[in-house]
Amino acid sequence: MILVCDVGNTNINFGVYEEDELLVKFKIMSKMSRTSDEFGAIICELLEHNDIKLDDIEGCIIASVVPNVMHSLVNALERYVKKKPLIVGPGIKTGIKIITEAPKEIGADRIVDAVGAYDVYGGPVLVIDFGTATTYDLVTENGEFAAGITAPGIKISAKALWEDTAKLPEIEIKKPASILAQETISSMQAGLVYGQIGQTEYIIKKVKEETGIENLKVVATGGLGSIVSDETDMIQVYDRNLTMHGLKLIYNKNARK
Catalytically active residues, by annotation: 109
Residues 253, 3, 146, 127, Cα dihedral to 10°: 130
Q: Is 233 helix (H, G, I), strand (E, B) or coil?
A: coil
For every residue of 59-123, DSSP letters joined together read: EEEEEES-HHHHHHHHHHIIIII--PPEESSTT---S-EE-SS-GGGS-HHHHHHHHHHHHHH-S
Closest CA to 236 of 214, 224, 218: 218
